[in-house]
Chains A and B, each alone.
Chain A
Amino acid sequence: MNWLGSIINLDGYGHYLHWHFILVSVANLIVVGLMVITFVAALFLPFPGKGRRKENR
């Protein structure tokens, strides 16, 4: 993981966004953003083999 450390300096204080009563670290905000992206992608990306499936209700 040394290469990652050379791109992002992880040796220091965390960065926070503060807006009124909302306080969130940039790291957590990135994870939340990734979850939203994954959620939207899961809704719209085609599922492999969808047409071939048998129904079983």
Chain B
Amino acid sequence: MSTTEIDRQWTTRLRKRVEGKLPPEKLLPDTQPAYVASWIYVFGVATLSSLILVIATGTLLAIRGPIWWHQSSIGHFVNSLHLWSVEIFFFSMIIHLWGKFFMGAWRGGRQLTWMTGVVTFVVSIVTGLTGYVSQTNFDSQWISTQAKDGINATGGGAFFNVLNFGQMLMWHIVLLPIAAVILTALHVLMVRVKGVVPPYEDEKKVAQ
């Protein structure tokens, strides 16, 4: 095979494109810009860390099932860890959102970073709702009977029935986590490709 033929292969072209956009030193940098040394930049990583805990505890709950998480002490503990890591996940994500909104984090060609974050936020809310209605307790019964009215009012109830436990559980433990993890990975990759948005006053200095 000639060099030209090798260069034309889709694997070669894709590798070169990925290497150009995201070289290893950009993917896993040694240092960060000076302006990142602020607590407001911590909440993205806090959200990511709590997401890892959410997935880990959710995996344990999926392995052992509802009897375990309702009736055993360790099941109660893991169930509580799952709930509280979700609380910290949303708490951090909303502060991250506020921080990035007031920074205008879509500046400098970072529109995709912003939009992947927005879509991840929406997907996380739906994941949270399907989680609440999958608890198999009175709380989940109450939430699902209330939520059905809201969703039916949008016309979405025919496709997304919050009273259908099987459907909600599958969305909660399969479809939505896959979507959330893929979107989060894309979001983080976009941050690495475009870099962390500088403060307004540093923007001109960075551009020079």
Where the two chains meet, the residues of A that have a C-beta atom closer than 8 Å to any C-beta of B are: 31, 34-35, 38-39, 41-43, 45, 47, 49-50, 53-57
Given known A45-B39, A47-B38, contact A57–B95 (CB-CB < 8 A)? no
Give A38's nearest chain B residue, CB to CB.
B95
A57 B206 Cβ-Cβ under 8 A:
yes
Is A55 in contact with B40, judged by CB distance below 8 angstroms? Answer: no
Nearest CB of chain A from residue B94's CB, rounded to whole Å:
6
A49 near B31 with CB under 8 A, answer no
What sequence of 0s and 1s flags, for each residue 35-67 of chain B, a beta carbon within 8 Å of any chain A beta carbon?
001111011000000000000000000000000
CB distance B34 to A53 under 8 Å? yes
Tell whether, in the assembled complex, residue A53 and residue B37 are in contact, meaning their CB atoms are under 8 Å apart: yes
B160 near A: Cβ within 8 Å? no
Cβ–Cβ contact B43 & A42, under 8 A: yes
> For residue B40, which residues in chain A have a CB less than 8 angstroms away from its CB?
39, 42-43
Distance, CA A53 to CA B35, complexed state (A): 10
* Chain A residues whose C-beta falls within 8 Å of the C-beta of B195 in the assembled complex: 57
User: Which of B29, B39, B40, B42 has most A Cβ within 10 Å?
Assistant: B39
A19 CA / B43 CA spacing, docked (Å): 32
- The digit string for B91-114, where 1 denotes a CB below 8 A from any CB of A, is 100110011000000000000000
